[in-house]
Protein backbone atom coordinates (compact mmCIF):
# COMPACT_ATOMS: atom_id res chain seq x y z
CA UNK A 1 0.00 0.00 0.00
CA UNK A 2 2.76 2.37 0.92
CA UNK A 3 4.74 1.75 -2.25
CA UNK A 4 1.68 2.81 -4.22
CA UNK A 5 1.86 6.21 -2.59
CA UNK A 6 5.58 6.76 -2.68
CA UNK A 7 6.43 5.47 -6.15
CA UNK A 8 4.44 7.98 -8.23
CA UNK A 9 5.75 10.83 -6.09
CA UNK A 10 9.33 9.69 -6.49
CA UNK A 11 8.85 9.36 -10.25
CA UNK A 12 7.39 12.88 -10.50
CA UNK A 13 10.22 14.37 -8.49
CA UNK A 14 12.78 12.51 -10.56
CA UNK A 15 11.24 13.74 -13.83
CA UNK A 16 11.18 17.32 -12.64
CA UNK A 17 14.75 17.21 -11.38
CA UNK A 18 15.91 15.59 -14.62
CA UNK A 19 14.15 18.13 -16.85
CA UNK A 20 15.35 21.12 -14.87
CA UNK A 21 18.82 19.69 -14.53
CA UNK A 22 19.02 19.09 -18.27
CA UNK A 23 17.93 22.64 -19.01
CA UNK A 24 20.23 24.23 -16.46
CA UNK A 25 23.29 22.34 -17.62
CA UNK A 26 22.56 23.17 -21.25
CA UNK A 27 21.99 26.80 -20.44
CA UNK A 28 25.24 26.89 -18.50
CA UNK A 29 27.18 25.36 -21.39
CA UNK A 30 25.52 27.61 -23.97
CA UNK A 31 26.22 30.73 -21.97
CA UNK A 32 29.82 29.72 -21.38
CA UNK A 33 30.24 29.16 -25.11
CA UNK A 34 28.96 32.63 -25.87
CA UNK A 35 30.79 34.21 -23.01
CA UNK A 36 27.71 35.52 -21.23
CA UNK A 37 27.60 35.66 -17.47
CA UNK A 38 24.26 35.05 -15.80
CA UNK A 39 23.25 37.95 -13.59
CA UNK A 40 21.12 41.00 -13.19
CA UNK A 41 23.92 43.57 -13.16
CA UNK A 42 22.89 44.84 -16.61
CA UNK A 43 19.87 46.51 -15.02
CA UNK A 44 22.13 49.30 -13.77
CA UNK A 45 23.69 49.97 -17.18
CA UNK A 46 22.70 52.91 -19.32
CA UNK A 47 19.71 52.01 -21.50
CA UNK A 48 20.53 54.48 -24.32
CA UNK A 49 17.23 54.11 -26.12
CA UNK A 50 14.27 56.44 -26.11
CA UNK A 51 10.70 55.64 -25.16
CA UNK A 52 8.01 57.65 -26.89
CA UNK A 53 5.50 57.75 -24.12
CA UNK A 54 6.32 57.66 -20.45
CA UNK A 55 4.61 58.62 -17.23
CA UNK A 56 7.81 59.33 -15.33
CA UNK A 57 11.00 61.16 -16.25
CA UNK A 58 12.94 59.09 -18.68
CA UNK A 59 15.59 59.52 -21.34
CA UNK A 60 18.29 57.44 -22.94
CA UNK A 61 20.82 58.16 -20.19
CA UNK A 62 18.75 56.36 -17.56
CA UNK A 63 19.28 52.73 -16.59
CA UNK A 64 17.54 49.59 -17.84
CA UNK A 65 15.81 49.34 -14.48
CA UNK A 66 14.26 52.73 -15.12
CA UNK A 67 13.14 51.60 -18.61
CA UNK A 68 11.56 48.55 -16.99
CA UNK A 69 9.66 50.83 -14.62
CA UNK A 70 8.44 52.98 -17.51
CA UNK A 71 7.17 49.90 -19.33
CA UNK A 72 5.48 48.53 -16.22
CA UNK A 73 3.74 51.85 -15.53
CA UNK A 74 2.54 52.04 -19.14
CA UNK A 75 1.14 48.52 -18.87
CA UNK A 76 -0.63 49.39 -15.63
CA UNK A 77 -1.95 52.64 -17.15
CA UNK A 78 -3.55 50.96 -20.15
CA UNK A 79 -4.94 48.18 -17.95
CA UNK A 80 -6.41 50.67 -15.51
CA UNK A 81 -8.15 52.75 -18.17
CA UNK A 82 -9.30 49.60 -19.96
CA UNK A 83 -10.76 48.13 -16.78
CA UNK A 84 -12.75 51.28 -16.04
CA UNK A 85 -14.22 51.51 -19.54
CA UNK A 86 -14.94 47.80 -19.93
CA UNK A 87 -16.71 47.70 -16.56
CA UNK A 88 -19.01 50.59 -17.44
CA UNK A 89 -19.75 49.23 -20.90
CA UNK A 90 -20.06 45.64 -19.71
CA UNK A 91 -22.57 46.46 -16.99
CA UNK A 92 -24.69 48.56 -19.36
CA UNK A 93 -24.69 45.87 -22.06
CA UNK A 94 -25.29 43.07 -19.56
CA UNK A 95 -28.34 44.84 -18.15
CA UNK A 96 -29.48 45.73 -21.67
CA UNK A 97 -29.46 42.07 -22.62
CA UNK A 98 -32.14 41.49 -20.01
CA UNK A 99 -34.24 44.46 -21.09
CA UNK A 100 -37.88 43.80 -22.00
CA UNK A 101 -37.33 46.02 -25.03
CA UNK A 102 -36.80 43.81 -28.07
CA UNK A 103 -34.60 46.30 -29.95
CA UNK A 104 -32.29 46.94 -27.02
CA UNK A 105 -31.99 43.25 -26.23
CA UNK A 106 -31.07 42.38 -29.81
CA UNK A 107 -28.63 45.27 -30.17
CA UNK A 108 -26.82 44.20 -27.01
CA UNK A 109 -26.77 40.56 -28.15
CA UNK A 110 -25.42 41.62 -31.54
CA UNK A 111 -22.66 43.64 -29.90
CA UNK A 112 -21.62 40.75 -27.67
CA UNK A 113 -21.64 38.11 -30.41
CA UNK A 114 -19.83 40.41 -32.79
CA UNK A 115 -16.91 41.58 -30.68
CA UNK A 116 -16.43 38.36 -28.77
CA UNK A 117 -15.77 36.25 -31.84
CA UNK A 118 -13.04 38.31 -33.46
CA UNK A 119 -9.43 37.86 -32.26
CA UNK A 120 -8.30 40.73 -30.07
CA UNK A 121 -5.14 41.23 -32.10
CA UNK A 122 -7.20 41.82 -35.24
CA UNK A 123 -9.32 44.34 -33.38
CA UNK A 124 -6.25 46.22 -32.18
CA UNK A 125 -4.86 46.23 -35.72
CA UNK A 126 -8.19 47.39 -37.05
CA UNK A 127 -8.43 50.36 -34.70
CA UNK A 128 -4.81 51.34 -35.07
CA UNK A 129 -4.05 50.75 -38.73
CA UNK A 130 -7.48 51.24 -40.28
CA UNK A 131 -9.79 53.34 -38.14
CA UNK A 132 -7.43 55.83 -36.48
CA UNK A 133 -5.45 56.32 -39.70
CA UNK A 134 -8.58 57.77 -41.29
CA UNK A 135 -8.49 60.75 -38.90
CA UNK A 136 -7.46 64.22 -40.14
CA UNK A 137 -3.97 65.70 -39.92
CA UNK A 138 -3.39 68.14 -37.03
CA UNK A 139 -3.91 71.24 -39.19
CA UNK A 140 -7.27 70.01 -40.52
CA UNK A 141 -8.71 68.78 -37.22
CA UNK A 142 -11.93 70.29 -35.98
CA UNK A 143 -12.69 71.14 -32.38
CA UNK A 144 -14.57 68.53 -30.38
CA UNK A 145 -16.72 69.92 -27.55
CA UNK A 146 -14.86 73.20 -27.93
CA UNK A 147 -11.71 71.93 -26.26
CA UNK A 148 -10.15 68.84 -27.83
CA UNK A 149 -8.65 67.81 -31.16
CA UNK A 150 -8.83 64.28 -32.52
CA UNK A 151 -6.06 63.86 -35.07
CA UNK A 152 -4.06 61.15 -36.75
CA UNK A 153 -1.30 61.87 -34.25
CA UNK A 154 -3.52 61.31 -31.27
CA UNK A 155 -6.00 63.06 -29.05
CA UNK A 156 -5.19 66.52 -27.69
CA UNK A 157 -7.23 67.60 -24.70
CA UNK A 158 -6.89 70.35 -22.12
CA UNK A 159 -4.63 69.46 -19.22
CA UNK A 160 -5.37 70.46 -15.65
CA UNK A 161 -2.78 72.73 -14.04
CA UNK A 162 -2.82 72.39 -10.28
CA UNK A 163 -1.65 74.63 -7.50
CA UNK A 164 -0.97 72.91 -4.18
CA UNK A 165 -2.06 69.58 -5.62
CA UNK A 166 -0.84 67.70 -2.53
CA UNK A 167 -3.34 69.48 -0.27
CA UNK A 168 -6.10 68.35 -2.57
CA UNK A 169 -4.92 64.72 -2.52
CA UNK A 170 -4.61 64.76 1.27
CA UNK A 171 -8.14 66.04 1.58
CA UNK A 172 -9.36 63.24 -0.70
CA UNK A 173 -7.63 60.61 1.42
CA UNK A 174 -9.04 62.24 4.55
CA UNK A 175 -12.52 62.11 3.05
CA UNK A 176 -12.12 58.39 2.29
CA UNK A 177 -11.01 57.69 5.87
CA UNK A 178 -13.96 59.61 7.29
CA UNK A 179 -16.35 57.71 5.01
CA UNK A 180 -14.85 54.39 6.07
CA UNK A 181 -15.29 55.09 9.78
CA UNK A 182 -18.71 56.63 9.29
CA UNK A 183 -19.92 53.52 7.48
CA UNK A 184 -18.66 51.30 10.24
CA UNK A 185 -20.38 53.48 12.79
CA UNK A 186 -23.63 53.47 10.81
CA UNK A 187 -23.56 49.71 10.42
CA UNK A 188 -23.03 49.26 14.13
CA UNK A 189 -25.87 51.63 14.92
CA UNK A 190 -28.17 49.77 12.57
CA UNK A 191 -27.31 46.38 14.00
CA UNK A 192 -27.60 47.46 17.63
CA UNK A 193 -30.32 50.09 17.65
CA UNK A 194 -31.99 49.72 14.25
CA UNK A 195 -31.33 53.34 13.29
CA UNK A 196 -30.71 53.83 9.58
CA UNK A 197 -28.70 56.73 8.22
CA UNK A 198 -28.73 57.79 4.56
CA UNK A 199 -25.24 56.28 4.24
CA UNK A 200 -24.74 56.81 0.53
CA UNK A 201 -25.81 60.46 0.53
CA UNK A 202 -23.65 61.38 3.51
CA UNK A 203 -20.63 59.56 2.07
CA UNK A 204 -21.05 61.30 -1.26
CA UNK A 205 -21.45 64.63 0.49
CA UNK A 206 -18.23 64.20 2.46
CA UNK A 207 -16.41 63.06 -0.67
CA UNK A 208 -17.43 66.16 -2.60
CA UNK A 209 -17.52 68.86 0.07
CA UNK A 210 -14.19 68.22 1.76
CA UNK A 211 -12.08 68.54 -1.42
CA UNK A 212 -14.19 71.55 -2.44
CA UNK A 213 -13.32 73.27 0.84
CA UNK A 214 -9.63 73.05 -0.03
CA UNK A 215 -10.32 75.28 -3.04
CA UNK A 216 -11.70 77.94 -0.70
CA UNK A 217 -9.31 77.69 2.22
CA UNK A 218 -6.41 75.41 1.29
CA UNK A 219 -5.02 77.53 -1.52
CA UNK A 220 -5.74 74.83 -4.09
CA UNK A 221 -6.19 76.25 -7.55
CA UNK A 222 -7.13 74.57 -10.82
CA UNK A 223 -6.76 76.00 -14.30
CA UNK A 224 -6.64 74.39 -17.71
CA UNK A 225 -4.02 74.59 -20.41
CA UNK A 226 -5.52 74.26 -23.87
CA UNK A 227 -3.80 72.69 -26.88
CA UNK A 228 -2.78 75.22 -29.52
CA UNK A 229 -1.78 74.57 -33.11
CA UNK A 230 1.87 75.22 -33.82
CA UNK A 231 3.66 75.17 -37.13
CA UNK A 232 6.93 73.25 -37.15
CA UNK A 233 7.64 73.56 -40.87
CA UNK A 234 5.61 74.54 -43.91
CA UNK A 235 3.64 71.30 -43.96
CA UNK A 236 4.26 69.96 -40.49
CA UNK A 237 2.02 70.94 -37.63
CA UNK A 238 1.59 69.87 -34.04
CA UNK A 239 -0.23 70.99 -30.93
CA UNK A 240 1.39 72.59 -27.96
CA UNK A 241 0.18 72.61 -24.40
CA UNK A 242 -2.58 70.45 -23.05
CA UNK A 243 -2.49 66.72 -22.73
CA UNK A 244 -1.63 64.59 -25.74
CA UNK A 245 -2.74 60.97 -25.78
CA UNK A 246 -0.91 58.87 -28.38
CA UNK A 247 -3.01 56.94 -30.92
CA UNK A 248 -1.42 53.66 -29.79
CA UNK A 249 -2.90 54.13 -26.33
CA UNK A 250 -6.30 55.03 -27.76
CA UNK A 251 -6.40 52.05 -30.13
CA UNK A 252 -5.24 49.65 -27.45
CA UNK A 253 -7.67 50.89 -24.81
CA UNK A 254 -10.54 50.90 -27.27
CA UNK A 255 -9.90 47.35 -28.45
CA UNK A 256 -9.28 45.98 -24.95
CA UNK A 257 -12.36 47.66 -23.48
CA UNK A 258 -14.71 46.68 -26.32
CA UNK A 259 -13.45 43.08 -26.30
CA UNK A 260 -13.42 42.51 -22.53
CA UNK A 261 -16.76 44.27 -22.06
CA UNK A 262 -18.48 41.46 -23.96
CA UNK A 263 -17.29 38.94 -21.40
CA UNK A 264 -18.22 41.16 -18.48
CA UNK A 265 -21.65 41.70 -20.01
CA UNK A 266 -22.16 37.95 -20.08
CA UNK A 267 -21.05 37.67 -16.45
CA UNK A 268 -23.46 40.40 -15.38
CA UNK A 269 -26.30 38.78 -17.27
CA UNK A 270 -25.55 35.37 -15.77
CA UNK A 271 -25.36 36.92 -12.30
CA UNK A 272 -28.71 38.64 -12.49
CA UNK A 273 -30.38 35.65 -14.12
CA UNK A 274 -28.87 33.40 -11.46
CA UNK A 275 -31.07 34.91 -8.76
CA UNK A 276 -34.28 32.93 -8.51
CA UNK A 277 -37.55 34.71 -8.97
CA UNK A 278 -38.64 33.55 -5.52
CA UNK A 279 -36.10 35.87 -3.91
CA UNK A 280 -37.65 38.89 -5.56
CA UNK A 281 -41.18 37.78 -4.72
CA UNK A 282 -40.29 37.01 -1.12
CA UNK A 283 -38.70 40.44 -0.76
CA UNK A 284 -41.75 42.10 -2.26
CA UNK A 285 -44.08 40.19 0.01
CA UNK A 286 -42.41 41.50 3.16
CA UNK A 287 -43.03 44.99 1.86
CA UNK A 288 -39.70 46.14 0.45
CA UNK A 289 -39.85 48.78 -2.25
CA UNK A 290 -38.43 47.95 -5.72
CA UNK A 291 -35.38 50.05 -4.94
CA UNK A 292 -34.80 48.22 -1.69
CA UNK A 293 -35.30 44.86 -3.38
CA UNK A 294 -32.57 45.67 -5.87
CA UNK A 295 -30.23 47.09 -3.25
CA UNK A 296 -30.75 44.69 -0.36
CA UNK A 297 -31.78 41.40 -1.96
CA UNK A 298 -30.84 41.10 -5.63
CA UNK A 299 -27.53 42.93 -5.87
CA UNK A 300 -25.73 41.33 -2.90
CA UNK A 301 -26.55 37.89 -4.28
CA UNK A 302 -25.87 38.76 -7.91
CA UNK A 303 -22.52 40.34 -7.04
CA UNK A 304 -21.46 37.08 -5.42
CA UNK A 305 -21.90 35.40 -8.81
CA UNK A 306 -20.59 38.30 -10.91
CA UNK A 307 -17.41 39.35 -9.15
CA UNK A 308 -15.16 36.25 -9.32
CA UNK A 309 -15.39 35.72 -13.11
CA UNK A 310 -15.20 39.46 -13.65
CA UNK A 311 -11.93 39.70 -11.75
CA UNK A 312 -10.69 36.96 -14.00
CA UNK A 313 -11.57 39.14 -16.97
CA UNK A 314 -9.68 42.08 -15.43
CA UNK A 315 -6.70 39.80 -15.16
CA UNK A 316 -7.14 38.73 -18.77
CA UNK A 317 -7.30 42.35 -19.81
CA UNK A 318 -4.05 43.09 -18.01
CA UNK A 319 -2.36 40.13 -19.65
CA UNK A 320 -3.86 40.96 -23.05
CA UNK A 321 -2.47 44.48 -22.79
CA UNK A 322 0.85 42.85 -23.71
CA UNK A 323 -0.47 42.77 -27.29
CA UNK A 324 0.58 46.42 -27.24
CA UNK A 325 3.85 45.20 -28.68
CA UNK A 326 2.06 44.67 -31.99
CA UNK A 327 1.32 48.35 -32.47
CA UNK A 328 4.41 49.72 -30.74
CA UNK A 329 2.79 51.07 -27.60
CA UNK A 330 5.73 51.07 -25.18
CA UNK A 331 4.45 48.63 -22.60
CA UNK A 332 6.47 46.20 -20.49
CA UNK A 333 6.79 43.59 -23.24
CA UNK A 334 7.81 46.01 -25.96
CA UNK A 335 10.23 48.09 -23.91
CA UNK A 336 11.81 45.36 -21.84
CA UNK A 337 11.31 42.02 -23.61
CA UNK A 338 11.68 43.78 -26.96
CA UNK A 339 14.12 46.67 -27.13
CA UNK A 340 16.11 45.99 -23.97
CA UNK A 341 16.57 42.33 -24.89
CA UNK A 342 17.71 43.18 -28.41
CA UNK A 343 20.34 45.49 -26.97
CA UNK A 344 21.63 43.35 -24.13
CA UNK A 345 20.99 39.87 -25.55
CA UNK A 346 20.16 38.60 -22.08
CA UNK A 347 17.24 36.41 -23.08
CA UNK A 348 16.94 34.29 -19.94
CA UNK A 349 17.09 37.10 -17.39
CA UNK A 350 14.76 39.44 -19.26
CA UNK A 351 12.10 36.88 -20.13
CA UNK A 352 12.25 35.65 -16.53
CA UNK A 353 11.80 39.17 -15.12
CA UNK A 354 8.92 39.91 -17.51
CA UNK A 355 7.15 36.67 -16.67
CA UNK A 356 7.74 37.16 -12.96
CA UNK A 357 6.18 40.61 -13.16
CA UNK A 358 3.00 39.36 -14.78
CA UNK A 359 2.95 36.40 -12.43
CA UNK A 360 3.17 38.71 -9.43
CA UNK A 361 0.26 40.81 -10.66
CA UNK A 362 -1.83 37.69 -11.32
CA UNK A 363 -1.05 36.04 -8.01
CA UNK A 364 -1.66 39.23 -6.07
CA UNK A 365 -5.11 39.56 -7.63
CA UNK A 366 -5.81 35.85 -7.06
CA UNK A 367 -4.97 36.15 -3.38
CA UNK A 368 -7.17 39.22 -3.08
CA UNK A 369 -9.93 37.36 -4.87
CA UNK A 370 -9.75 34.33 -2.60
CA UNK A 371 -9.92 36.58 0.43
CA UNK A 372 -12.95 38.37 -1.01
CA UNK A 373 -14.64 35.10 -1.97
CA UNK A 374 -14.26 33.84 1.56
CA UNK A 375 -15.71 37.05 2.90
CA UNK A 376 -18.82 37.04 0.77
CA UNK A 377 -19.39 33.28 0.77
CA UNK A 378 -22.75 32.21 2.16
CA UNK A 379 -22.40 31.61 5.89
CA UNK A 380 -24.13 28.29 6.29
CA UNK A 381 -25.28 27.36 9.72
Partner 1 sequence: MNKINLLKPDKKNIKLFIFLGVSFFSLGIIDFSLNHFLNTNITSFLPGYISFLTPLFFGMIGLHFIRIEFSGIKQLDNLNKNINTSNFNAALSICIILLVIFSIPPLLNWFIFEANIAGDKKEDCTGDGACWVYIKVWFNRFMYGMYPNAEQWRVNTTFIIVLGLAGLGYFFPLKLKKYLTLYYVIFLPIISFLLIYYLISGGEFGLVWVETGAWGGLSLTFIVSFFSLIFCFPIGMMFALGRRSNLPTLKWTSILFIEFWRGVPLITVLFMSAVMFPMFLPDGTYVDKLIRVIIAIVLFEAAYTAEVIRGGLQALPRGQYDAAKSIGMGYWKMHLLVILPQALKLVIPGIANTFLALVKDTPLIFVVGLLELAGMLGLAKTNPEWLGFSMEGYVFAAIIFWIICYGMSKYSYNLEQKYKTDR
16 binds partner 1 (CB under 8 A): yes
Burial 59-73 (b: 16+ CB within 10 A, else e): eeebebebbbbbbbb
Residues 200-259 that bind partner 1 (CB under 8 A): none
Angstrom distance (rounded) from CA 324 to CA 337:
12
Task: Tell me whether residue 80 or residue 126 sits nearer to partner 1 (CB atom).
Answer: 126
33 binds partner 1 (CB under 8 A): yes
Task: Tell me whether residue 157 or residue 354 sits nearer to partner 1 (CB atom).
Answer: 354
Burial (CB count within 10 angstroms: exposed 0-12, middle 13-18, buried 19+), residue 357: middle
Give the contact letters, 95-124, x = binds to partner 1 (CB under 8 A), - = no: ----xxxxxx--x-----xx-xxxxxxxx-
354 binds partner 1 (CB under 8 A): yes
Asked whether the beta carbons of 332 and 71 are under 8 A apart, the reply is yes
Task: Tell me whether residue 104 or residue 186 sits nearer to partner 1 (CB atom).
Answer: 104
**Considering only 206-214, 286-294, 301-309, 314-322, which stretch makes contact with partner 1 by CB under 8 A?**
314-322
2, 3, 5, 173: which one contacts partner 1 (CB under 8 A)?
5
Burial (CB count within 10 angstroms: exposed 0-12, middle 13-18, buried 19+), residue 269: buried
CB of residue 329 vs partner 1: minimum separation in angstroms? Answer: 13
Pairing of strands 148-151, 243-245: unpaired
CB of residue 359 vs partner 1: minimum separation in angstroms? Answer: 4
Residue 146, phi then psi, degrees to nearest 5: 75, 0
3-state helix, strand, coil in the chain (%, to 5): 70, 10, 20
Asked whether the beta carbons of 269 and 98 are under 8 A apart, the reply is yes
Residues 6+ apart with CB under 8 A from 234: none
Query: What residues does 281 pair with on adjacent strands?
Result: none
30, 45, 225, 370: which one contacts partner 1 (CB under 8 A)?
30
CB of residue 366 vs partner 1: minimum separation in angstroms? Answer: 8
**Considering only 25-33, 56-64, 178-186, 276-284, which stretch makes contact with partner 1 by CB under 8 A?**
25-33
Residue 318, phi then psi, degrees to nearest 5: -60, -45
Angstrom distance (rounded) from CA 353 to CA 272:
41
31, 76, 178, 243: which one contacts partner 1 (CB under 8 A)?
31
112, 323, 335, 340: which one contacts partner 1 (CB under 8 A)?
323
142 binds partner 1 (CB under 8 A): no
* Residues engaged in binding partner 1 (CB under 8 A): 5, 8-9, 12-13, 16, 22-23, 26-27, 29-31, 33, 99-104, 107, 113-114, 116-123, 125-126, 129-130, 133-134, 319-320, 322-323, 325-326, 333, 337, 341, 347-348, 351, 354-355, 358-359, 361-363, 366
Amino acid sequence: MKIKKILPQLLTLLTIVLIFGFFTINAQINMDNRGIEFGFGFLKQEASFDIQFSLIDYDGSRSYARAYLVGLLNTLLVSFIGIIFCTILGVIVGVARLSPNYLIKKTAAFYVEFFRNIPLLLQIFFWYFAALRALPMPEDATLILGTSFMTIKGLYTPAPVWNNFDVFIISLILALIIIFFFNRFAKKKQEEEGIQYPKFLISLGVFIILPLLTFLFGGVDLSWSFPKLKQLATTSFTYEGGLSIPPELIALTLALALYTATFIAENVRAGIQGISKGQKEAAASIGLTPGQILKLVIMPQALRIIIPPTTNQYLNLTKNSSLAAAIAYPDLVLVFAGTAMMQTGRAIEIVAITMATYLTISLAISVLMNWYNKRIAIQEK
